[in-house]
Amino acid sequence: MKAAPFDYMRVASIDETCKALAEAGDDARLIAGGQTLVPLMAMRMARPSLLIDINGIEELTGIAVEGDELVIKACTRQADTLASDIVREACPLLADALSHVGHTQTRNRGTVGGSLCNADPSAEIPLIARTLDATMTARSAAGERRIAAADFFDFAMTTSLEPQECLTEVRFPIWRDPDTGHGFHEVSIRDSDFALAAAAAQATLDAAGNCTRLNVAIGGASPTAMRLGPVEAALTGTDLSDEAIKDASAVIADLVEPQGDVHANADYRRRVVRVMAIRAIASARDEAKE
Amino acid sequence: MDGDFKYVGQKRRVKEDRRFITGRGRYAADLRLPGMLHVAMVPSPYACAEIKGVDASAALAMPGVRYVLTGDELFEHINPLLSGLDLPHVKRVPLAHCRARYAGEWVCAVVAETRAIAEDAAELVEIDYDMLDHVIDPEEAIKPEAPLVHPEHGSNVLFDKTWTWGAVDEDFAAAAHSIEYRARWSRCSTIPIETFAVTASWDPGREVLDVWASIQMPKYPEQIARGLRMPVNAVNVHFDIDVGGSYGLKRGIRQTIIVGYLSRVLRAPVRFIEDRLENLSGGEMHGPDRIFDIEMAYDDDATIRSIRIHATDDAGCYPGRAPLQLGKPVSAIVGPYRIGSAQYRAMSVTTNKTSQEAVRGFGQAPTNFAIETGIDKIARTLGLDRDEVRRRNMVRADEFPWRIPSGSEYDSGDYHTVLDKVMKAAGWDDLLARRDALRAEGKLAGLGLSTCLEPSGGNSSFEPLFNPKNDTTTWMEACLIKVDMLGGVTATINTSTSGQGHETLVSVAVGETLGIDPDKIRAIHAESLDALPSNSPVGSRMAIMLGGAAAGAAKKIKQKMIDIAAHNFQLPSDRLVYEDGDVFVDGEPDRKMTWFEIVDIAHRKYHDMPLGSEPGLQANFTWEVPTGGALPAEDGTVQMYPCYAFEAHIPLVTIDRDTGQVEIHDYFIGHDCGTVINPDIVRGMTLGGIAHGIGAALYEKFEYDRETGQLLAGSFMDYLLPSSHEVPSVEIVKHSTPSPLTEFGQKGSGESGYLGAPAGVASAVNDALEPLGLHLDTLPMRVRDIERLINGRET
Amino acid sequence: MSEHTIKLTVNGREMEGRAEARTTLVDFLRDALDLTGTHVGCEHGVCGACSVVMDGVPVRSCLIYAVQAEGAQITTVEGLEGADGALSPLQDAFWENHAMQCGYCTPGMLIATHALLQENPDPDDEAIREAIGGNLCRCTGYQQIVEAVKMAAAKMRGA
């Protein structure tokens, strides 16, 4: 499983990256963590003629809070993000989901941006980005733009990034209300396998225990991570009782478009993603009450 | 024989581990020879296709490419490989010849200066295929309209034979009840972390083909020679290569024939290391793929009178030794039970899937699973405890040796005591209470039980049983011991080792017999040109056979030393006592000759040697398997494996009813393999075997797409091996009923854990499903299968 | 395709070799630097047999191209023993507990657990199993490995 031959270059800044992408044409790929790209290349399913290595670009690494946003630079390692107190404080849902991403060793190399750009329908980081309406910043030689999560994930394994664009950071909105809880649940066959179905939820309750704000999204059962608008609408204003959650979640079967594969067929994902959503919302409610 | 040993049974560090912990293991891929060339395979994309033509011109034009070998060329120069069955019209070939018969089958071998270049060139080989119909499912393959995998054979049934031992029909008629059920063991195997790797180097000067391979295979040098049309003593297999796990599978004779042929043609060393894709789809390392249709006849008190087993096994494309995995279970066809009669129909079927190979237990794990499924069903039907049904049926301690209907004698055992011990250690009643408490909380919880045998010793009389033309009864093992001039002891292992700790085994066996510290004894692996005969580590035989051969050779050394001392004391040998390497006159401990004095005489002082004796101090011993040497009778009865180890598994599981995930909370196993030679080695085998068993029970399946014939589980992303999260901590409860047939009373343990774990886990899962009125008799029981069973009927 | 000269520090020694861009770090270590202790098991980042420490953290060396490791500090299994060949407490504990059989996954296991103990001197079973969760073993069933790590941790704590 040796990759097809390619040329390799290292770049030291975002500007250099954009310049290299602009000059290279469609057959070049950026390599960050490589945890997904390198296996694809080993299987010769990806065959870029040029790899542009963006590891070690300082301006692409970092975690900070800016106003009401948690800003994570694209090449920040998943391991560093998981270990970060800033992330745990500002966005506990992301921290929780990260512990399910791969293994220790893959998190040591894998990056937050890499996972987002890979856009696997069952991946955790895209799911959190979608749940919280994160914003992605993309730069090219032509300039910079912000892309909302709803517009970033186009289809399975496909983002709306142009071939010459580089993702530079992701911005997660911070929910400041202290009566906010989160929930994350996924099913995988073995610990840390790709999720067969996953759900993430974040909820804010008022003093009476009613839900004033709820974001829920699922992964693994649609071409991209998917917000469950109808479920959110039905549950906002309720006390998020188990019964209310169960009733509201019944519509999920009609919202999702699961695919089958060797691990689970579509019916399994359709049924189980609902269970994940129920558990995630309940966990968010329970945590918000603490 | 039992108890009082000096070294046998003592905690001792395993010698081999020293090199592994420092990264100094010597695996086949670590070897580099000057001028070595590398191979990559060109696989067939189709499940069945006529090969109309091969155009390798673009590949050969690539710089660094040295050769492209086609199946046609190879076929002209080799003998087809052997099958365990009598199949004159089914040719087993290393590279597809005329026809590709499974998706992933190797059609061409590309040779280049690096593996990467070979892969680049392999993409440029153009092959013209005419697609043909294929068949994937074994029950479809049996139907008359099925496409034929080997048209010359005339059908897809490779073997179909029924044996009836005892009054089966009468016993069924007389019994109060019978049950009938199907149990399915899906295609999986004990795939190791190291793929198969082989380097062959033809030396035209010595006219010898040197081979270094990650191998575990009986008669490997012989089959290389036969395949390449060379004398056996022109092949030199280096058995000192460390093998990175095998558990039966590493029978890479096809790979070896390919590189051996290429090395002779190219007059250079040629190496092939399977990458993981080649290994999973074309390495021919899939295991039993079996459908059991079983009937059991039993009475109101649960006494099982008779059993009928119809086993259909999908051997895949080319039947090598693997179809014999239907035969080995004849050695324990009634499990640990006193069932008086049995009928066994064994059917081997060919399909357009990669070929099956020997897997740990050689068919016993699936058979144990199938039998244990029935025991639990009987218990449920009669409303009896599952352990009680087993107690009533198991062979009793005072009944050994016990002859089963198919002719094998179980040498020794005390199944009831082992079961008692493990149930006590597990706290069976407490576990039941825990299970019930979990159920009261609304959870699915189950406690499992299985009681299974590990036949060991490798009396492979299933070979002539399945193919009377192969009238063979010799399964031997040998050891050569040399005591050198300065008194050091070196013993040979005449085959390869894949993690079983043979060096440690041999040094303990020799040390025990000679009364010398095993840490001072060196065990080395021979090369096949100077190796004594071996049947390789299969059939859980090495503790028995290599231990026996080493002890036998050591006894000769001991006797010779006594004789030398006797000569020097001018006394008959029976007046002398040997103790811990020294020899003294009985009753006169001061009249003694030391180890070093005797060694010195043997090597340097012929004038002090007994008349006519051989100088030096070396001995070899070659041992035939105990109880071996008899061909099957007309009715198929025959003694198979000599020694029977026993295990009882108790897992506690919960199932998430919404997701189908199974969690194993507690795991206990009672294990009796007779005398344990090295406790850490045996413990490791059992724990590792249980891990394999959990994989087979819950995770592993080589799934094929029926429409396209493609293997869907072609990488480690899809073929899922249990990790540290899936394998629980296991408590092992030991017992020992020594074997009367072996040197120290040892039985085999190389398959322990694996032979009973799938049955135990299935028992636990079905116990958890029982309150829902559901059951699952197909392995693996994956999350999707369990979830659909529970929730699937609603949608 | 381009060939590159790669300089890096392995087990404390500065080393240099040449490789194509597509050569993975594990192949580079084994073939160019003759360090065959690190093993290849799958080449797609699942089995962990190729684990090495790179710039302080355990990684899968089959998922890194050698060119990417320019200037890096690498520790392989060969670097775990003392300069005089003395076994580390972890290696010794692996031996004492027979935490291997065929030895093929062992270098990766040692790297993963070595990295764990550097961060967590008193790991419980769960932490150990998590640390080796990405290293597949087909022989042992993991238990003797977990026991070895506990023994090594205790020894290193002076317990």
How confident is the model over B337-353, as pLDDT tens digits?
999 999 999 999 999 99
Percentage of chain B with pLDDT > 90? 99
Does a structural domain hold residue A59?
no
Does a structural domain hold residue A275?
yes
Nearest residue on chain C to B27, judged by CA atoms? C104
CB contact residues (below 8 A), chain A span 150-209, against chain B: 187, 189-194, 196
Cβ–Cβ below 8 Å for C46 and B684: no
Task: Name the residue among B275, B661, B712 with its Cβ closest to that of A1.
Answer: B275
Mutation to test the B interface, candidates C142, C144, C146, most B Cβ within 10 Å: C142
Note the pLDDT tens digit of each residue in B565-611: 999 999 999 999 999 999 999 999 999 999 999 999 999 999 999 99
Same domain as C95, residue C27: no
Q: Is the pLDDT of residue B793 over 90?
A: no
At B1 the pLDDT is 43
Nearest residue on chain B to C32, judged by CA atoms? B32
Whole-complex ipTM: 0.98
Same domain as C30, residue C9: yes
Does a structural domain hold residue A190?
yes
At B795 the pLDDT is 45
Does a structural domain hold residue C140?
yes
Same domain as A280, residue A149: no
> How many inter-chain contacts (B to C, CB under 8 Å) are there?
183
CA distance C140 to B683: 9
CATH of span B31-132+193-245+251-282:
3.90.1170.50
Fold adopted by B17-23+476-570+585-611? Aldehyde Oxidoreductase; domain 4 (3.30.365)
Average pLDDT rounded to a whole number, residues C99-107? 98
- Name the domain count of chain C: 2
CA distance B84 to B443: 48
**φ, ψ at C26 (rounded to 5°):** -65, -40
The minimum CA-CA distance between A191 and chain C, rounded to whole Å, is 8
Residue extent(s) of CATH 3.30.365.10 domains in chain B: 17-23+476-570+585-611, 290-461+641-791
At A56 the pLDDT is 85
Same domain as C54, residue C103: no
Beta bridge partners of B485: none
Please say whether the beta carbons of A110 and A33 come within 8 A: yes
CB atoms within 10 A of CB C81: 18
Write the CB contacts of B255 (distance below 8 Å, at least 6 apart in sequence).
Answer: B94, B196, B198, B213, B272, B274, B283
Residues of B in contact with C140 (CB under 8 A): 684, 687-688, 691
CA distance B503 to B487: 19
Strands B662-672 and B402-403 come out as unpaired
**φ, ψ at B344 (rounded to 5°):** -135, 120
Residues of B in contact with C35 (CB under 8 A): 23
The minimum CA-CA distance between C87 and chain B, rounded to whole Å, is 8
At B530 the pLDDT is 95
Mean of per-residue pLDDT scores for chain C: 97
Indicate the DSSP class of residue B746: B
Does a structural domain hold residue A55?
no
- Angstrom CA distances, C133 to A10, C37, C126, C129, stand at 32, 21, 10, 6
Indicate the DSSP class of residue C31: I
Does a structural domain hold residue C21?
yes
List b or e across B651-671, with b for residues whose CB sees 16 or more CB atoms inside 10 angstroms: bbbbbbbbbbbbebbbbbbbb
Average pLDDT rounded to a whole number, residues B272-283? 98
CB contact residues (below 8 A), chain C span 14-73, against chain A: 20-22, 24, 27, 43-45, 48, 51, 57-60, 62-65, 67-68, 70
Average pLDDT rounded to a whole number, residues B193-217? 98
Same domain as A152, residue A188: no
pTM: 0.98
At B744 the pLDDT is 97
Strand boundaries in B285-421, DSSP class E: 290-298, 304-314, 341-349, 402-403, 409-410
Does a structural domain hold residue C84?
no
Instruction: Inform me whether the C-beta atom of residue C157 falls under 8 Å from chain B C-beta atoms.
Output: no
**Helical segments of B110-211, H only:** 115-122, 138-142, 168-174
Same domain as A275, residue A139: no
Same domain as A142, residue A18: yes
Same domain as C97, residue C151: yes
Of A174, A199, A223, the residue that ends a domain is A174
- Name the domain count of chain A: 2
Please say whether the beta carbons of B246 and B279 come within 8 A: no
- Angstrom CA distances, C123 to A107, B477, C150, C159, stand at 20, 45, 7, 14
Note the pLDDT tens digit of each residue in A117-146: 999 999 999 999 999 999 999 999 999 999
Same domain as C57, residue C108: no
Same domain as C37, residue C99: no
Same domain as C66, residue C100: no
**For tokens 């191998």, what's the residue?**
B215
At B3 the pLDDT is 65
Of A174, A201, A231, the residue that ends a domain is A174
Indicate the DSSP class of residue A77: B
Mean of per-residue pLDDT scores for chain B: 97
Does a structural domain hold residue C36?
yes
Note the pLDDT tens digit of each residue in B617-626: 999 999 999 9
Same domain as A158, residue A36: yes
Does a structural domain hold residue A199?
yes
Instruction: For residue B541, name the pLDDT band (cuts at 50, 70, 90).
Output: very high
Same domain as A274, residue A219: yes
The minimum CA-CA distance between A234 and chain C, rounded to whole Å, is 39
Of A124, A156, A174, the residue that ends a domain is A174
CA distance B709 to B687: 35
Same domain as C72, residue C16: yes
Same domain as A282, residue A144: no
Same domain as C113, residue C73: no
Please say whether the beta carbons of B29 and C114 come within 8 A: no
Residues of C in contact with A43 (CB under 8 A): 44
Q: Is the pLDDT of residue B2 over 80?
A: no
CA distance A110 to B364: 43
Same domain as A129, residue A2: yes
At B82 the pLDDT is 87
Q: Which CATH number fits the domain that encloses residue C120?
A: 1.10.150.120
B290-461+641-791: CATH class: alpha beta
Of C41, C60, C79, the residue that ends a domain is C79
At C1 the pLDDT is 57
Task: Name the residue among C91, C101, C142 with its Cβ closest to that of B22.
Answer: C91
* A140's tokens: 């090219």
Q: Which CATH number fits the domain that encloses residue A185?
A: 3.30.390.50
Please say whether the beta carbons of B737 and C148 come within 8 A: no
Q: Amino acid letter at C8? A: L
CB atoms within 10 A of CB B528: 22
| Angle of CA points C20, B43, A48, to nearest 5° | 35
Note the pLDDT tens digit of each residue in B393-445: 999 999 999 999 999 999 999 999 999 999 999 999 999 999 999 999 999 99
Residue B746: which of B685, B659, B666 has the closest Cα?
B685
Which helix (H) or strand (E) covers residue A275, if one does?
A: helix A266-289
Cβ–Cβ below 8 Å for C142 and B16: no
Identify the domain containing residue A112 by its residue range: 1-42+64-174
CB contact residues (below 8 A), chain A span 28-47, against chain B: 43-44
Average pLDDT rounded to a whole number, residues A228-241? 98
Q: Is the pLDDT of residue B635 over 60?
A: yes
CA distance C128 to C131: 5
Does a structural domain hold residue A56?
no
Listing DSSP states for B762-782 in one string gives HHHHHHHHGGGT----EE---
Average pLDDT rounded to a whole number, residues A167-195? 96
Listing DSSP states for B419-434 in one string gives HHHHHHHHTHHHHHHH
**For tokens 């096949």, what's the residue?**
B528
CA distance B151 to C106: 47
Please say whether the beta carbons of B678 and B501 come within 8 A: yes
Same domain as A111, residue A7: yes
Q: Which CATH number fits the domain that encloses residue C62?
A: 3.10.20.30
CB contact residues (below 8 A), chain C span 46-85, against chain B: 46-47, 49, 76-78, 80-81
Identify the domain containing residue C69 by its residue range: 3-79
